Amino acid sequence: MIGLVIVSHSERLAQGILEMIKMIPNWESRVRIAAAGGLDDGGFGTSYEKILQAIENSASDEGIIILGDLGSSFLTAELCLESLPEELKSLVYISYAPLFEGALTVTSLAVAGAQISEILERLKRMAVATGKLSSEAPQEISVASSSKSALVEVAIPSGFHARPAAMFVKIASKFSSRIKVRNVTRGGDFADAKSLVEVSTKAMAEKGELVEIVAEGDDAKEALSALRELIQSKLIELENTAIADAEVTREEIAVGNRRKQEQVTEARLLFVGIPLFPGIAIGKSILLQHNMYEQPFHPTIPQNFDLKILHNAFETLTKRLHSRKEKIIQLKGKSADYLAAIYEFQISLLNDPKTFAAIVGGVSSGLSLTESVNRFFEKLEHEFENGPSFMKERRADLRDLKMNLLSILTGMDLSVGKEKLSSDSIAIIKELYPSEILSLLEYSISGLVMTDVGPNSHVAILAKMLGIVSVTGVGDEILQIPDGTNVCLDATSGRVLVEPSESALRKMMQKKAILVGKIEASKSESRSTRTRDGKRVEIVANCGPLETVLEAYRNGAEGIGLLRTEFMFLDRQAPPSVEEQAEFFQEVAELSREKPVVVRTLDVGGDKAAPYIQIEREENPFLGVRGMRVYKIYPWVVKQQVEALLRVSGMSNFKLMVPMVSTADDVLWIRNFLEREFGAMPVEFGIMVEVPSIALTIRSVLNYVDFLSFGTNDLTQYILAADRNNPRVQYVYDHLDPSVLKLMKFATEEAHKVGKWVGVCGELASDPLAIPVLVGLGVDELSVVPKLVPNVKAIVADISFRECEKIASHALELSSGREVREFLSKAFN
């Protein structure tokens, strides 16, 4: 505990400050506060007896800080020190920092876990800034023998950033020890490990960088152990499979790649964007806007506000964030866990005492409450902007939190237009936040059109998870149409028709009725899918944990085209036993019965890591040791997986697929290894085609494999030399680029010549615009996330193979992904 004595010439002022300080959450856990205001008879002045009594009431082993308002308050306090016993006198410090701001600083820093030496140093800087000098500054406190430290290499694929930081702070706060953390690689300053504000602005680190954690206190050893494990393993799973699970990998849409509006006969205006969740919506446009971003914002909150206003707003928003987090978790899956972590980050930031203290401090310096809130978050956004690349992507989470806080404080819904929404509305907005898309569900809107939301954003992932018919990237011109305009949204092609003609409207309504009917039928059956002219295309699912397998079959999947196994290996200190793996495979077999199941062997390295599979730090992990390259260093990994698979009863429908194959030598090595260990290849054996080199030399391996499956996410970024997670090259990455399609056509034709089947398990398989092209290229199987199985089945059943062949042939002759998309949008209107 730290003692704090507030000395003022006015009893009313001292008590007022005391009451305001007590509004800081959890103040009583770290601060013992006493007020000494006015004379004994209640008059204006300072009382020796009151100050002495306040010092005794606030006595603490860590020390007592005295703050005063006018010069005589310090003189009286110094007189009191003379009469104190030496053991107590040595613990008292007088600070000349401003009274109100100083009291806030002491309390908020103490609650956050700061040592008294750190607090005094902060007060000294405040005193100097106001033209005063602090009294005798304490000697630097040496590190106690109970102090422990550890250097930890960050293993989290996307780095130690906002969401992992929130979990780090949450764990650190459970320990009584003083804990601090810093980025050693960058030579940064220490951050208070119990303050998300400090950790997320001072201690962020990229994968492979070193962070130092220092803990001082009785449970320092336990704290270090827990935090080390958190950074090295437990946080890894959060990042590894979230985006892949949602099948969203294209980054923010570049301005130069916006689709322009077109003049057409079927509607007054036609916009073309990127589909998120396929479907057709017909309704009236409603434009949604953010007051705080679109126009000046001057709420009427008095300057001398009651601190309870802010405290209550924090409490209300915290409850809302917890509620939203629970709704996301109920959606289940890795993407749900990933998105729930956004709210965990926001909750932690909101509950950080330094957030509250900073906003109150801004008001005390003369800002309005809303100006102070904006100033605080703008400063944080600036810190994120100047941080590592992964921090820049988290700024939307900050803006979301700020928007919601201001909404509560002002009593205004900052998303103007929602009150007009109904079940036949097509919501149109420039930028949307995760909290808003959840609230849109309450209105059961027909569809959603966005202009500035990237297909890899949190909102895009949510739109897919929630099944909202939606497109993005249509261009800002659509924001000019008036509310109540007739709009047809075709999210199977990405087209938005504004004021459609009567014939276009009838055509769209017929298409919607057919699509809805087919989707509903697809959910209740898993019979084979064929095009209108009889071409067989298997529609299977990408799965991981057992619940995703269940969802796939509930939605009519004809099998499992990609069974990920990483979830069994990550987020743990030791690998799963053969028995544990066999038990999972057996459960999948019982659910699948005779349906085909393609098991992908462990795919770690690159963006996925496991603590017991040590891979040296690499400058470019995506071009390093990943996929099957790991097996050459750790052969037991693939050996145990196949051994577990062979223990499954009724596993004749199982197939084995190996990731990250680059050359014919890779194929021969893995096949020879498995045959040495298990004799003749016991199951069908295939490879993922995700490296251009293996696609170009596919003839050399076709005698050794039974099937191919295109991993189009990696294949696209390797062909175009564009990291799909790098916003600076976002305009380059497009899996419909003709170069990608031509390579797929070549490998597919070569495989078919020798009777080998070909599948697609990347994001391309679920892109509504791409499906006709893939069918036209002749692929035999499309594997998508479970939720999209019925939609993809319905799309395939509604197209003609012969027409698709012509369309694919024309697409191959175009010069860019943009041209391909525009052509396909017109072809399937």
The pLDDT tens digits for 141-178 are 233 334 567 777 777 766 777 667 778 888 888 888 88
Return d(Cα 369, Cα 375) in angstroms, integer: 10
Which of these is catalytic: 9, 458, 488, 735? 458
Q: Tell me, what amino acid is at 795?
A: I
In the chain, the amino acid numbered 688 is: M
| Banded pLDDT at 562 (limits 50, 70, 90) | very high
The closest of 782, 813, 736 to 272, measured between CA atoms, is 736
Helix (H) or strand (E) holding 302: none
Confidence of residue 400 (pLDDT cuts 50, 70, 90): confident
Q: pLDDT exceeding 70 applies to what percent of the chain?
A: 84
Task: Give me the pLDDT at residue 295, please.
Answer: 37
Active site residue 458: yes
Cβ proximity of 346 and 397 under 8 Å = yes
Which one of the listed residues 80, 488, 543, 761 is annotated catalytic? 761
- Residue 614 vs residue 715, higher pLDDT: 715
Q: Is the pLDDT of residue 531 over 80?
A: yes
Q: How do residues 475-524 score in pLDDT, each as one tens digit?
A: 788 999 999 999 999 988 888 999 998 888 888 887 887 777 767 666 65
Query: Is the separation of the CB atoms in 567 and 545 below 8 Å?
Result: yes
Domains observed in the chain:
2-129 (3.40.50.510), 147-234 (3.30.1340.10), 245-288+417-514 (3.50.30.10), 305-410 (1.10.274.10), 529-801 (3.20.20.60)
Q: Is 761 an active-site residue?
A: yes
Contacts of 362 (CB under 8 A, 6+ apart): 371, 372, 373, 375, 376
* Residue 22 Cα distances to 17, 30, 35, 202, angstroms: 9, 12, 12, 28
pLDDT, one tens digit per residue, over 703-757 is 999 999 999 989 999 999 987 766 567 778 889 999 999 999 999 999 999 999 9
DSSP string for 124-161: HHHHHHTT---SSPPPPPPPPTTEEEEEEE---TT-B-
Q: Is the pLDDT of residue 135 over 70?
A: no
Average pLDDT, the chain: 82
Q: Is the four-CA dihedral 159, 164, 166, 171 of positive or negative sign?
A: negative
Asked whether the predicted pLDDT for residue 234 surpasses 60, the reply is no
